[in-house]
Structure 1
Amino acid sequence: MLELKDLNVYYDAIHAIKGISLEVNQGEIVTLIGANGAGKSTTLRTISGLLKPKSGTITFEGKDIAGSKAHEIVRNGISQVPEGRRIFAEMSVMENLDLGAFTRKDKDGIKADVKHVFELFPRLEERKNQIAGTLSGGEQQMLAMGRALMSRPRLLLLDEPSMGLAPLLIKEIFNIIVDINKAGTTVLLVEQNANMALSIANRAYVLETGRITLAGDAKELAASEEVRKAYLGG
């Protein structure tokens, strides 16, 4: 479904992504793990059109999307839940969800998707008229995910969904990611909490200073001594 080939990305003179290649098959949950500053968020931002690669290709469903504008990529079927939520704090929950569907014109479909988001996140329905900035961190994360789902993505990019959340909420968010995937959305997940990420993923890539150093089945990587020492606390 998604293939990155020899991707190189720079921030001015800094070579942030150094020739990485990875793939995500339809229906999978694939996770990118690595330390802070390894280039995980940069990879997602490049896929979703917020950064332009210097070289290399990004192919989504057979179409080269490297260098496409961000709104075109959303139209193509990729949606990102950014690191730090980035909800529209001054707007209501409902207005945030409506904005998630900005590329769509099918009113009935939008209505059905709002209903689906409320089934996934009942707390959002209870707070649908509340100003988004007054929600708790966990509720804001739910809103950011709900907003991304409103564009009906076939591929969902999740950037650090557990950041700053209490352990119980992290579990809830990860259960919902599994539900979203089971309902037919492919997921590429960037996550600091490697234990949780590997527990739900099919496959994983380990990123170190802009390079992929390990790749394979998520369960096998979770059992590997190298990964355990570096990312799983022993």
Structure 2
Amino acid sequence: MLEIKNLNVHYGVIHALKDVSLTVNEGEIVTLIGANGAGKTTTLRTISGLNKATSGEIILEGKDITNLSAPQRVRMNVSQVPEGRRIFPDMSVLENLEMGAFLRKDKVIIKRDIEHVYELFPILGKRKKQLAGTLSGGEQQMLAMGRALMSKPKILLLDEPSMGLAPLLVREIFEIIKNINSEGVTILLVEQNARMALSIAHRAYVIETGSIAMTGTGEELINSDEIQKSYLGGE
């Protein structure tokens, strides 16, 4: 579904991504792990059109989207849940979900999809009239994911969904990610919690200082001595 070929990105003189190549097949959960500042978020932001590639290609379902704007990519069913959630705090839960569907015209199906989000995240249904800024961190993360789903993505880019959440909530969020994937949404996941991310990933990439250093199945990487030492606390 998604193919990145020799992607380079610069922030001024800083070479943030160096010839990054990766693929995400339809129906997969692919995770990207690495230390802070390794280039994980830059990779997602470049795929979604928020950062501009210096060189390289981004191919979505066989179409070159490297030079398309972020809104054009949303129309092609690419949706990102940003790091830090970025919900609209002064709007209600329901209004946030409606904003996720702003490019859609199918009002009846939008209504049905909102109900489906409430099935995935029951707490959002109970809080639908509440201002999003008054939700807990975990509820805001669920809202950010629900809002992204309202654009009917074929591929969902998730940036640090477990950040700042209690361990119990982290498990719940990862169960929901698996449920979303089982409904046919392809997922590219960036995550600091390497153990949880690898445990649900079909395949994974390790990024170090802007370059892909290692790749394999989630199981292969979680059992790798190198990964255990570097990312899993040596357990």
Shared fold (TM-score greater than 0.5)? yes
Alpha-carbon shift at residue 68 of structure 1 (Å):
1.0
**Partner Cα separation in structure 2 for residue 51 and residue 6 of structure 1:** 15
**Partner Cα separation in structure 1 for residue 185 and residue 116 of structure 2:** 13
Superposition map of 1:15-54 within 5 A: 15-54=15-54
Superposition map of 1:28-107 within 5 A: 28-107=28-107
Q: Which residue of 1 aligns with 2:185?
A: 185
**Partner Cα separation in structure 2 for residue 208 and residue 69 of structure 1:** 27
Q: What code does the residue aligned with 1:164 have?
A: G
Alpha-carbon shift at residue 221 of structure 1 (Å):
0.6
Report Cα offsets for 1:61-120 as digits up to 9, x if no partner: 011111211111011011000000000011110110000001100011101110110000
What are structure 2's unaligned runs of at least 5 residues? none
**Partner Cα separation in structure 1 for residue 217 and residue 114 of structure 2:** 34
Give the CA RMSD over aligned residues: 0.4
Alpha-carbon shift at residue 192 of structure 1 (Å):
0.1
**Partner Cα separation in structure 2 for residue 183 and residue 111 of structure 1:** 18
Q: Which residue of 2 aligns with 1:129?
A: 129
Q: Which residue of 2 aligns with 1:151?
A: 151
Q: What code does the residue aligned with 1:148 have?
A: A
Report Cα offsets for 1:26-79 as digits up to 9, x if no partner: 000000000000000000000000011000000000111112111110110110
**Partner Cα separation in structure 2 for residue 11 and residue 116 of structure 1:** 39
Q: What code does the residue aligned with 2:167 have?
A: P
Q: Which residue of 1 aligns with 2:205?
A: 205
Q: Which runs of 4+ in 1 moved over 4 A?
A: none
**Partner Cα separation in structure 1 for residue 129 and residue 16 of structure 2:** 41
Q: What is the TM-score normalised by the length of structure 2?
A: 0.99
Identical aligned pairs, as a percentage?
69
- For 1:5, what is the secondary structure of its paired residue? strand
- For 2:168, what is the secondary structure of its paired residue? helix
Q: What code does the residue aligned with 1:162 have?
A: S
**Partner Cα separation in structure 2 for residue 215 and residue 67 of structure 1:** 27
Aligned residue-pair number? 234
